[in-house]
Amino acid sequence: MSKFDIKSLKKNLRLKRLFQYYSEEIKMTSDSIEQYGHPEFYSFRMILKAGYPLDRDKLIKKDTKIPEYLEHLPKETALDEYQYGDWRNYIYEMDEKFFQSITQKEHSNILKDIFNGQILPKFNKNFKRELILKFQKDSYALISSKLNKKYYLFHCSRKLGGNKKKYEDLGYGDKFYYLLKIFTKKINKKQITMIANKNTWN
């Protein structure tokens, strides 16, 4: 079985696939979020998916002929399970393998890097943190990509316990880290502040 830890994630990270996932993430509507569940740590999940040992094309079937063992299901459900079932199972398997592979210190460092807008630049030199706005519970990081010349604005939110900083565990909590917007030109701190003030996904 393929190993999947921080080292292999950095080595395998497919940038074009990650850009595709981010474009899909930004298109998510409130209806799809309500239907499929809140995107807990959604943007970090995208990084994981783009760095799996196997790419999705190796696991998603293009054949539309439904096998006999799925014929008892509604046609649309059966086709979805046949084409995407292996890929979904692989996601669960690899995510669990990754989280089991990291130490508590690595876990904590990932959370801090996410909040400080450094997770992508540390994983790949293609990315650069351009701007960061940090508040008590929230941060807004503008990350640039050399390869596709785009700017990604991420929002990170954390919970505080008492007077001590308390980060949510990866894989748990709600609305911790997600992509707000994608830009073709760099925006400034004033524009990010305006976006933060209008951000109603709380």
Segment 110-147, tens digit of pLDDT: 888 988 999 999 999 999 999 999 987 889 999 999 99
Alpha helices for 51-180 (secondary structure H): 75-101, 104-115, 119-123
Closest CA to 123 of 177, 202, 50, 25: 50
- For the chain, give every domain's residue range: 1-53+102-202
Whole-model pTM: value is: 0.82
The angle at the Cα of 121, spanning 17 to 27, to the nearest 5 degrees, equals: 40
pLDDT band with cut points at 50, 70 and 90 for residue 154: very high
Amino acid, single-letter form, for residue 150: K
Partners of 154 in the beta sheet?
141, 179
CB 165 within 8 A of CB 158: yes
Q: Is the confidence at residue 158, as pLDDT, over 80?
A: no
pLDDT band with cut points at 50, 70 and 90 for residue 92: confident
Token pair for 105: 């210190």
Locus of tokens 């509604």: 74
Q: Going edge to edge, which strands form the sheet with 138-145?
A: 127-134, 138-145, 150-157, 177-183
The Cα 108–Cα 124 span in angstroms is 19
